[in-house]
Amino acid sequence: MLNLRGRTVDGPAPGPADVLELVRRQQIQMVDLRFCDLLGGWQHFTLPVEEMGEELFVEGIGFDGSSIRGFQPIHESDMLIVPDPVTARVDPLAKVPTLILTGSIWDPVTREPYSRDPRAVAERAESYLRTTGIATASYWGPEAEFFVFDDVRFDQNQRAGYYFIDAAEGIWNSGREEKPNLGYRPRNKEGYFPVPPTDSLQDFRSEVVLKLRAAGIPVEVHHHEVATAGQCEIDLRFSTLTEMADRLLMYKYILRAYARERFKTVTFMPKPLFGDNGSGMHVHQSLWRDEVNLFADPAGYAGVSELARYYIGGLLAHSPALLAFCAPTTNSYRRLVPGYEAPVNLVYSQRNRSAAVRIPVYSTNPRAIRVEYRPPDPTANPYLAFAAMLLAGLDGIARKLDPGSPMDVDLYELEPHEAAQVRQVPGSLGEVLDALEADHDFLLQGGVFTEDLIQTWITHKRKKEIDPVRLRPHPWEFFLYYDA
């Protein structure tokens, strides 16, 4: 694997000299510096390898922060990116041999980490966890689902708004004249998981897995997902918080770039198709003290400890605010709709996929015990979302928040008076932003998040996303009201 990660487990963390040795050994010609904007987009610029020396890892290199979403105003635009040697990976897709280095953002005047840098938030969350004395590490395993389409067109202007999606695998193409049309397409909600040729993306996913492994990212499994038209999932092996967020950005990059090479397009939108399953990002998480899984207790419900139950209590109590970071788009709430198998119920259960928190019971091995938080989706900025979930769980532990009794029944079959007692997630981005505004003290613990970052997030989401969607006519309104 062409990276330096493996040396961080039993030995010292890689340093600049190790990166330079990797550059020499792999005959690298370009160095791509990457960082994450506030909303979760990966940004980059590239240096000829001759311009990289050990001083780059100390002094950093400047860029214009006013051109980055959620960062600086124009009169304070100068920022620094300082690459982290541990993140060095050889790009498995670049035609010119290229090294990818992910960096943190610093203020060039104070030489302090930038408060709105998402990666710095993740690092502060891990540091805060250690200071609590509760655990020494947290482990994270997101399941980021996606669609692979063959064509997408969309536009929005004063007099028109539309999108068109097509996929060779889409069930709607069963009657298309293809001369010959060979059939074998997964019907709506039947994509989980027939073998090829109905699963037309087997080789595509396998090839992506090989690219991920070449970049040093371990993969556990890949498969087709429930929806027609190319819904898929590739599961990464769990890792620590910041490392997993780094991996998830690389995962999204490789998927999109490789799909383009194959004349396909990948989207992580939670709900790109009407009438079929949306894409979530179920996040498995656990707390450890050295080699001991603190969430495991063979005597507990579903094998989880009392500490894990309090952690669940924190996730459930803070879910309305959490979703401002974990399901952060207007499109997220096309997926989180009651009655459509979405995890909208703020309860916990073993095995039950309609609950917001599920405890997987595939294995009784104490090392495999974890909780799975199901409302998030892959539009989330992973640095912020993982950090927010951790802080919610830690608040639950600190306050001993009881999540109540588990719900091991089909929540959609409850009697109306029983269903009315079950709390559900909010139904819109506006509602979760209001919840975040009212409930964010838990995010400020240990200085992990700042008021400035939270208020910047809320303002951006309201002005740049909610308002533009709210102000435009919806196509379905023409069906409903044109002849009113």
Q: What is the pLDDT of residue 246?
A: 97
Strand partners, 86: none
Is 261 marked active-site?
A: no
Evaluate if residue 415 carries a pLDDT over 90.
no
pLDDT confidence of residue 328:
98
Least confident piece of the model among 37-41, 126-130, 406-410, 433-437? 406-410
Residue from 126, 143, 297, 395 carrying the catalytic annotation: 143
Confidence check: pLDDT of 396 > 70: yes
Rg (CA), the chain: 23
Nearest to 209 by CA among 1, 43, 25: 1
353 is an active site residue: yes
What's the confidence (pLDDT) of residue 7? 41
Average pLDDT over residues 302-329: 97
Span 133-147, average pLDDT: 97
CB 374 within 8 A of CB 322: no
**C-alpha angle 114-389-8 in degrees, rounded to nearest 5:** 65
Structure confidence at residue 353 (pLDDT): 72
The mean per-residue pLDDT over the stretch 356-378 comes to 93
At 88-115, the pLDDT tens digits run: 999 999 999 999 999 999 988 888 899 8
Catalytic residue flag (residue 291): no
* Angstrom distance (rounded) from CA 95 to CA 93: 6
CA distance linking residue 232 with residue 222, whole number of Å: 8
Q: What pairs with residue 231 in β-bridges?
A: 147
Angle at alpha carbon of residue 128, lines to 122 and 133, rounded to 5°:
140
pTM, two decimals, is 0.95
Domains detected in the chain: 5-114 (3.10.20.70), 137-481 (3.30.590.10)
Among 8-17, 49-58, 243-252, 346-355, which stretch is predicted with the lowest mean pLDDT? 8-17
* Alpha-carbon gap, residue 382 to 326, rounded angstroms: 8
Tell me the per-residue pLDDT of 244-299, one tens digit each, with 9 for 90 and over: 999 999 999 999 999 999 999 999 999 999 999 999 999 999 999 999 999 999 99
- Catalytic residue chosen out of the listed positions 5, 374, 377, 395: 374
Residue 434 has pLDDT above 90, yes or no: yes
Let me know if 282 is a catalytic residue: yes
Q: Which of 377, 133, 128, 436 is nearest to 231 (CA)?
A: 377
The end-to-end CA distance of the chain, in Å, is: 63
Which residues does residue 265 pair with via DSSP β-bridges, in sequence order?
149
| 11-36 average pLDDT score | 92
Is 431 labeled as catalytic in the residue annotation? no
Whole-number average pLDDT of the chain? 93
Whose CA is closest to 318, among 228, 187, 449, 142? 449
Catalytic residue among 91, 117, 150, 372: 372
Reply yes or no on whether 207 is catalytic.
no
Reply yes or no on whether 145 is catalytic: yes
Out of 51, 64, 203, 477, pick the active-site residue. Answer: 64
Provide the 10 A C-beta neighbour count for residue 6. 11
Least confidently predicted of 267-271, 283-287, 430-434, 471-475: 471-475
Contacts of 440 (CB under 8 A, 6+ apart): 321, 449, 454
Catalytic residue selected from 205, 282, 335, 370 = 282
From the candidates 145, 169, 246, 395, give the one annotated as an active-site residue: 145
Determine which one of 225, 246, 395, 465 is catalytic: 225
